[in-house]
Homo-oligomer: A and B are copies of this chain.
Amino acid sequence: MITDPARLASFAHDEAAGAPYALPAAVVRPRDTGEVAAVVAYCAERGVPVVARGAGTGLSGGANAVEGCVVVSFAAMDRVLSIDPDERLAVVQPGVVNDHLRAACAAKGLWYPPDPASAPWSTIGGNVATNAGGVCCVKYGVTRDYVLGLEAVTGRGEVVRLGRRTAKSSAGFELAGLLVGSEGTLGLVTEITLRLRGERAQEHTVVGYFDDLPSAGRAVAHVVAAGVVPSALELVDRYCLRAVDEWKNMGLTDGGDVLLLARCDAPGAAGLQEADTVLACFEAAGATWSARSADPAEADALFAARRLVYPALERLGMVLSEDICVPRTLVPEMLARLERTAESNGVRIASLAHAGDGNLHPMLVVPRGDERQLARGREVFEEVVDQAIALGGTVTGEHGVGLLKMRGLARELSPAVVDLHRGIKRVWDPAGILNPGKVFTA
């Protein structure tokens, strides 16, 4: 148990820009489910808040400590317990890092698809808490699609096993799926049974540069209409490209203003056909330059550059990052609205997007410590969230609600649905100790 204030500070918050947090009263690092259950039971009896924490890479404040809380860090429960190649299952502890699991699977010819940008650091427990996505979700789905079963500790300190190890089941309510994305408000996940896939076929990369966001948006719409489901379809706008160039001098902006990166992985010749279709879509939308990349190293470098966007922007100030998701045919419309919103507010919105599934990450950079600009940026993003909702979208595609999307969620859901959330929380956590004040108000 950690109670030294100097050390507590590093467990006080995640990476959400400007979300409130407090110093925890204590941090515990349980080694097994029994210890988790004991901590929760102790806290339930005394009404002490409990905040679960993986790697702290969240972007919504879901892992931020609240006044007087105990932070339960899963750093010491970081083992891959088993990988079964025939059943295509992995059983893991919540603290295992996403990339470590992926490597362990790859060593057995298997693949765990969800690949959030945080994969080198974020944990499966955190991925489960936020229903994390990533680049390949456009074809392969999100974390929830891979969670078959869970062990969890409820707010009463009870250990429950939910879900299954079988390919399918209709036995009772889908409680494992309910816990995925519940951000530590219903239970603390202590073990996860994950579905795996076999190794994927070779990916073919298609690169396109565009003069502006509308033409890149049209290219995305063309791909959607062509019926191709790429295994990645990422958009990086001029502000993002420039930030990476200024840092790494990669020459990304030499090709043009907006970059689209697509990958196709249908097996055999079908994959090449898909890639050629995507290329034709890029060209039809007015790409200034486009090509099917013949060099895997070059293709990987472009995807690596995409991952550098966030740290590159962080060099320039505090990055406010949105996570809206709109119906995918409305990506061009949402991009146009982002441009108008930026203009009317006199700000610069940088956009990175999982364009193929309509999940946009508009970003605003504000000078560190400038509370006025931070507040202003938040207001701009509330406008953006309203526009996403108006287009039939959602306030968070993959980051979770945490603290930062609470206002938006209250607008997305009807009061009756929020009441269902509150009722369900009372069932799992009658004392109201699990991550209180997150996602929705009590």
Chain A interface residues (CB < 8 Å from chain B): 84-87, 109, 130-133, 137-138, 142, 144-145, 154, 158-162, 164-175, 177-178, 180-182, 186, 198, 201, 221, 224-225, 227, 229, 266-270, 273, 323, 325-329, 356-359, 392-401, 405, 409, 412-414, 416-418, 420-421, 423-424, 426-428, 439-440
Contacts and interface: CB of A to CB of B under 8 A. Distances in A.
**This chain: copies in complex:** 2
Nearest to A224: B86
Q: Is the interface of A mostly helix, strand, loop or mixed?
A: loop
A52 to B, nearest CB: 16
Contact of A416 (B160, B165, B412): B160
Contacts of A182: 173
B327 A166 contact: yes
A158 B154 CA distance: 28
Contact of A168 (B85, B137, B270): B137
Contact of A427 (B229, B405, B424): B424
A168 B133 contact: yes
A270 B394 CA distance: 37
Contact of A172 (B173, B392, B398, B439): B439
Contacts of A159: 416
Nearest to A412: B171
Given A166-B327, A328-B87, A161 B396 contact: no
19 contacts: A87-B328, A109-B227, A154-B416, A159-B416, A166-B394, A167-B328, A168-B325, A168-B357, A171-B395, A172-B181, A172-B409, A172-B418, A173-B181, A173-B424, A178-B178, A267-B270, A268-B268, A423-B427, A426-B427
Which 3 A-B pairs give the minimum distances between C-beta atoms?
Answer: A423-B427, A167-B357, A267-B270
Contacts of A174: 131, 144, 174, 177-178, 180-181
